Amino acid sequence: MRVTFIHADGKQRTEAEAEPGSILLDVAQAHMMPLEGTCEGQMACSTCHVIVAKEDFDRLPEASEMEEDMLDLAAGVRRTSRLACQIVLTDALDGLTVHIPAESRNMQGPR
């Protein structure tokens, strides 16, 4: 399946191939997107915040209350914001497009 990452500058994009069942954060990091994921997917931070394309947002399952609480701490949150660690890629999400927020900073550097 294919995922498109729109870089923080809004111009560059990275096309990624992923297997169903993959976690979006892992796919993003494997393709050098600046998503820190400090808590390693334990939903204890908001450093993997992404903005899902409006046309794709309704294809995702609803965010949990805990995810919503973590998003309250993220910079640059939009109506279609989600935590990449909470998005499990399925065949139904093929073609998903997510934007890396301009406020995104990876203080850990490339993995």
In Å, how far are 7, 11, 48, 54, 77 from 42, measured between CA atoms?
A: 24, 31, 11, 26, 19
User: So what's the pLDDT on residue 41?
Assistant: 86
pLDDT at residue 74 in the model:
92
pLDDT score, position 104: 58
- pLDDT at residue 110 greater than cutoff 60: no
Would you say the pTM of this structure is higher than 0.85?
Answer: yes
User: pLDDT, tens digit, for every residue of 69-81?
Assistant: 999 999 899 999 9
**For 85-106, how does the pLDDT look when each residue is reduced to its tens digit (9 = 90+)?**
999 999 999 999 999 998 755 4
Kindly report, residue by residue over 10-69, the tens digit of the pLDDT: 999 999 999 999 999 999 999 999 999 999 888 899 999 999 999 999 999 999 999 999
